[in-house]
Structure 1
Amino acid sequence: MDKMPKWADVLLIPFINLLLAFILSGLVILAIGKDPLVAIKTMVEGSFGSTNAWGYTLYYATNYIFTGLAVAIAFHARMFNIGGEGQAAIGGLGVALVCLAVDWPHWTLALPAATIGAAIFGAGWALIPAYLQARRGSHIVITTIMFNFISAALMGYLLVNALKEPGNMAAETRDFPAGAHLPSFHEMLAPFGIEFSKHAPANISFLLALLCCFLFWVLIWRTRLGFAIRSFGHSETAARYAGISPTKIIMISMMISGALAGLMAINNVMGESERLILNSVEGAGFIGIAVALMGRSHPVGVFLAALLFGFLTQGGAELQLWENIPRELVVVIQALVILFTGALDNMVRAPVERLFLKFKKRVA
């Protein structure tokens, strides 16, 4: 069967979906008595108009890259991991325990150790739903959602009763050692004579996120395990016939997914807060679902979608600050983006495919 070109599927369809979402969002802004052109200008300038704005946009995008990749690898194995929120929170626990256990002399030692801690804790938290799916037939969507609530309760208990610094009323740990401080963009670029805002939270974990994008591509499209994951995702029956173990694929895929979600804590816990605080994930686990959907579970698409949602998050804060537009409106915009790129994707895809096929027939 003839299909439209790959570039149209990867670029044109998402662009049209985004355009429709933003047009509808503009109408919503107009309905509340605000100028949509002023609103989009404020969002763009607040997200990309200065190094400080870029720093916040890339900080949020880094979170979404990790959680988007986490959901994407589960998608390739035909699983819907809704537990990124909880896995990222538990990953933060792993980071905190590693950073507080040793008086680290330098971040070059602390970062690899914290990365391992975040990945192990995130993977371990995803292992239980994976086992229940593989061995007991429990649906992964239900169990991962339940484990989000369990992780929230567990983190609340630990931060109030076990990890809280004595004498501190806030539910948070003590500050990490100075040697666990990660270089910010300001510190990274200063040696090259490039000025970057010292107040922006973007840090070296952005480069770690880019490395994970590359390793994700290598794993899925250049390794035997990646082929097995994709084969299982396309057809479990064919995978079984080829000798691929469904139990093995489910367990490994979910553990990698949980590890990627856990790595988000390197950015927000170790890089930005420099201590573990309650509700440090702030919904990034759920936004990762939209990022993976919009990015078509490809690392390049995930990166671009994460940048978009980073723009929406930072731009939404600017709207609230300067235009007195409720930040909840950004949730509406995000929902419209998800709606058009996910649920209503075929509404755009079907007519575009027909146009390409009609054009191809005319040329032939």
Structure 2
Amino acid sequence: MSNRIVNILVPVISVILGLLVGAIVMLVSGYDPIAGYSALWNGIFGDVYTMGETIRQITPYILAGLAVAFAFRTGLFNIGVEGQLIVGWFAAAYVGVAFDLPKMIHLPLAILAAAAAGALWGFIPGLLKARFKVHEVIVTIMMNYVALHTTNALVRAISDGGDNTGPINPNASLRSDFLANMTDFSRLHYGIIIALVMVLVMYIILEKTTLGFELKAVGLNQHASEYAGMNVNKNIILAMVISGAFAGLGGAMEALGTFGFASVKGGFTGIGFDGIAVALLGANTPLGIIFGATLFGSLKYGATNMPNEAGIPEEIVSIVIAIIIFFVASGYVIRLLVQRFSKNKEAK
């Protein structure tokens, strides 16, 4: 069996297993899994409003998945996507609130501010990894908490003790009357276009440029790359900076599109952490991440309809989603089983 077929089968099998076990959990808990999954389907595709909201939910997942996958492809494990997304969220909202500029200047400036903030938050663990060999997993986990509490303090500072920055200037908004009217006034915004463009950007960087070749080479073997004349430390830092920029853009989608402000957060958004599973499901490939983000965005938004339509408690819904994520994260085990089954079949 070819690797291409295996790459397609693994995520499909992962999702099917997750849905089956989720159905068993609902059945054991005394709820109708058919009604539950029907409610999930209606929550995703029920009407144009829910479809608009589903696409809106998918948008930051694409960028979070790109951030995780880019680091993976360069030999790094960026657990700090959540923190980078949060600082990007704040930076975009701050620029959106603090300035009054023409839309052609204001919106790009806010988006670039988010990317720069995320890149800065990625630069710190990249520098520590390159110069002092501090493991990026530890640093990025800690940086998540620093990001959460720092942005909370900054929100309170610029709002005189309030819990949000206030609404951004309309000239910095990604929202569109055209998209709102087309989807029955959902929060769908132009961020989905930016996310898809970033998918193309990641593909071009990694597959079509000398920089991408160097980044992947350093990730595969630092010693061989150094022997070949590549600057290993520079490439480690650059990989984390680019990864952080993708995550920061994910925050901009929330600040400039979905919510239109930044607020004091009681905890993490979860988008950055789910980005790890999105990247795994998409096999760390740009195209795969679109499908992975579509799955997670659809589950996250569609599941909100399950308590209303099927009477399934939110706790059970969370368990079902977690089970699906578990099987997706176990994709490498499923891959081994599929390959072993294929070899046994060929041997016979």
TM-score (norm 1): 0.90
Unaligned runs of 5+ in 1: none
| Alignment correspondent of 2:131 | 135
Q: How many residues align?
A: 347
In the TM superposition, what whole-angstrom CA distance separates every residue of 1:293-328 from its partner, at most 9, and x where no partner exists?
A: 111111111111101001110122111232232333
Give the Å deviation of 1:21: 1.2
**In 2, Cα distance between the equivalents of 1:102 and 1:241?**
49
Q: Does 1:288 align with 2:275?
A: yes
1:341 deviation in Å?
2.7
Alignment pair present for 1:300 and 2:287 = yes
Shift of residue 74, structure 1, vs aligned partner: 0.5
What are the residue-to-residue correspondences of 1:24-43 with 2, within 5 Å? 24-43=21-40
* Structure 2 counterpart of 1:122: 118
**What do residues 70-106 of structure 1 show as CA deviations (whole Å, max 9, x unaligned)?**
0000101111111111111111222122212321333
Q: In structure 1, how many angstroms separate the alpha carbons of the residues matched to 2:320 and 2:38? A: 15
Q: Distance in 1 between matches of 2:268 and 2:179?
A: 25
Contact 1:123 1:254 in 2 (8 A): yes
Asked if structure 2 preserves the Cα contact closer than 8 Å seen for 1:46 and 1:318, the reply is: yes
Which position in structure 1 is the counterpart of 2:151? 155
| Cα deviation digits, residues 145-203 of structure 1 (max 9, x gap) | 1011111111121122x111x5xx7410121122223233x51486xxxx3221x1120
The 8 Å contact of residues 88 and 281 in structure 1, kept in 2 or not, is answered as: no
Q: Extract unaligned runs of 5+ from structure 2.
A: none
Deviations 1:89-137 (A, max 9, x none): 111222122212321333x332211111011111011111111111111
1:181 paired residue number? 173
| Matched-pair identity in % | 33
Matching residue of 2:107: 111
Residue 11 (structure 1) aligned with residue 2 (structure 2): no
Corresponding residue to 1:349 among 332, 335, 339:
335
- For residues 205 and 314 of structure 2, the distance between their equivalents in structure 1, rounded to whole angstroms, comes to 38
**Which segment is superposed worse, 326-335 or 62-71?**
326-335
Change (3 A) 1:110 1:326: farther
Instruction: Kindly state the Cα deviation for residue 361 of structure 1 after the two structures are TM-superposed.
Output: 5.5
2:312 to 325, 329, 338: 325
* Alignment map for 1:258-273 (pairs within 5 Å): 258-273=244-259
Where does residue 56 of structure 1 map in the other structure?
53
Q: Within 1, Cα distance between the matches of 2:106 and 2:309? A: 39
Moved more, 278-287 or 43-52: 278-287
Tell me if the contact between 2:6 and 2:338 (Cα under 8 Å) persists in the aligned partners: no
> 1:79 aligns to what SS in structure 2?
coil
Alpha-carbon offset, residue 10 of structure 1: 2.0
Distance 2:198 2:260 in 1: 22
CA distance in structure 2 between the partners assigned to 1:141 and 1:49 by the alignment: 40
- Write the letter of the residue equivalent to 2:134: S
Alignment-mate amino acid for residue 118 of structure 1: A
Determine the structure 1 residue equivalent to 2:198: 212
Q: Pick closer, same or farther for the CA change 1:322–1:80 going to 2, 3 Å.
A: same
Give me the CA root mean square deviation. Answer: 1.9
Decide whether the 8 Å contact of 1:130 with 1:251 is kept in 2. Answer: yes
Q: Does the C-alpha gap of structure 1 residues 134 and 178 become closer, same or farther in structure 2, counting only changes over 3 Å?
A: same
Amino acid at match of 1:180: A
- How far, CA to CA, are the matches of 1:76 and 1:133 in structure 2? 16
CA distance, structure 2, for counterparts of residue 336 and residue 306 of structure 1: 17
Q: Supply the distance in 2 between the matched residues of 1:89 and 1:97 (Cα, whole angstroms).
A: 12
Alpha carbons 2:81, 2:247 under 8 Å: kept = yes
Shift of 1:340: 2.1
Instruction: Name 1:95's counterpart in structure 2.
Output: 92
